[in-house]
Chains A and B, each alone.
Chain A
Amino acid sequence: MNKKNKNPFKTPQGYFDSFEDNLMEKLSKNESVIPKNAGFKVPDNYFESFNDALKSKLNTDSKVVPLYPIKKIITVAASIAAIAIIFLGYNWNTEEKINFNDLANSDIDAYFENYEFDLSPYEIAEVLPVTDSEFSDFLSSTIENDNILDYLDENVSDFEELNFEDNE
């Protein structure tokens, strides 16, 4: 038996076609607490008289511009004066420039001591030309071979720690 024939109910014509629109309308009415009108108004006949007001403003706005307007002349004069003052001021205040050679070594040392550069050893290695440097460049006194052997003898318990074989 056909299932459709079992249903004795029917709907008004086009009910399902207009269902969505009706639902949305109802939702928009019920859902929002926001008023549909903002409450603004305009003076009487504002829009009717707007064209005339605009025309008169346009006419005032498009008045003839003088060939040498006073404002322009003042601007140019002020610019020249400003440039002259800056130029003269520069000469008055000029002093001999300090270059790198004028810095005392102690100032440079103090600068490096007092400021942290946050550089890692790797970053320092990138900056320093290590390939052209020798250990002796960084040391104030030379180290004798005997001293090195004494140091190793005292501080290295196991000679194999030095991994000579790996480094060969």
Chain B
Amino acid sequence: MIVEETLVQELKTKTTQAQAFEVLVRTYKERLYWQIRSIVLNHDDADDVLQNTFIKVYKNIDSFKGDSKLFSWMYRIATNEALSFIKKRAKIQGITDSDYQDKLVSNLEADVYFEGDEIQLQLQKAIATLPEKQKLVFNMKYFQELKYEEISEILDTTVGGLKASYHLAVKKLEQYLKND
């Protein structure tokens, strides 16, 4: 178990920075990867965004004031990077974010790194219909099993609001899957 304050201090010190960064990447890469992957869906895009996230963390570690946990801060950067990535790609293709996300879901059928069955594919289609906030909360709670308190710090939303969003998302997804 790493002590966050020590790690942050080491990251800010030139002589210990490289080693501390390796520890940081080793500790958080998988969790951040799954957060990003749940947004961009495709592995190659998730890899790009994950690398950019760590580069951003590395370059901006001095601006990390410690108001939130390092983990929450990085999660926030990862989430923002992934969402911006989607928006940028949609803009390049001249389509709306929502259309781009539909396209991502339909690409899953031919994706070698998606081994989901019909129900899992339907679930991704259902998730794509949710509003952005509900989508994020559902993925973070259901698949990544983050605590409400952690999600609250990452998304800067009250625990009560998150519970409501999650509950609504689950109901909508169940409805979608039952009707399908």
Q: Do A and B come from one complex?
A: yes
Instruction: Give the residues in chain B near A33, CB-CB below 8 Å.
Output: 119, 174, 177-178
| A38 and B116 within 8 A (CB) | yes
Leading 3 A-B pairs by shortest Cβ distance: A39-B116, A39-B120, A33-B177
Total residues of chain B contacting the partner, CB 8 A? 34
Nearest to A56 among chain B residues (CB) is B51
Interface residue stretch chosen among A3-11, A40-48, A88-96, A154-162: A40-48
Instruction: Give the residues in chain A near B121, CB-CB below 8 Å.
Output: 39
- Give bound CA distance, A77 to B9, whole Å: 43
Q: Is B22 interfacial (CB-CB < 8 Å)?
A: yes
Total residues of chain A contacting the partner, CB 8 A? 20
Cβ of B56 to closest chain A Cβ, rounded Å: 10
| A61 and B55 within 8 A (CB) | yes
- Give bound CA distance, A89 to B47, whole Å: 49
Cβ of B18 to closest chain A Cβ, rounded Å: 9
User: Which residues does A use to contact B, with CB under 8 Å?
Assistant: 32-35, 37-43, 46-47, 50-51, 53-54, 57-58, 61
| A38 and B38 within 8 A (CB) | yes
- Give bound CA distance, A51 to B30, whole Å: 12
Extra contacts besides A35-B119, A40-B34, A47-B29 (4): CB < 8 Å: A34-B173, A39-B115, A42-B113, A57-B51
| A57 and B55 within 8 A (CB) | yes
Nearest to B29 among chain A residues (CB) is A50
Q: Is B26 interfacial (CB-CB < 8 Å)?
A: yes
| A32 and B55 within 8 A (CB) | no
Instruction: Give the residues in chain A near B43, CB-CB below 8 Å.
Output: 40, 42-43, 46
Cβ of A52 to closest chain B Cβ, rounded Å: 11
Contact A38/B113 with A47-B30, A54-B25 known, Cβ cut-off 8 Å: no
Q: Is B125 interfacial (CB-CB < 8 Å)?
A: no
- Give bound CA distance, A38 to B111, whole Å: 14
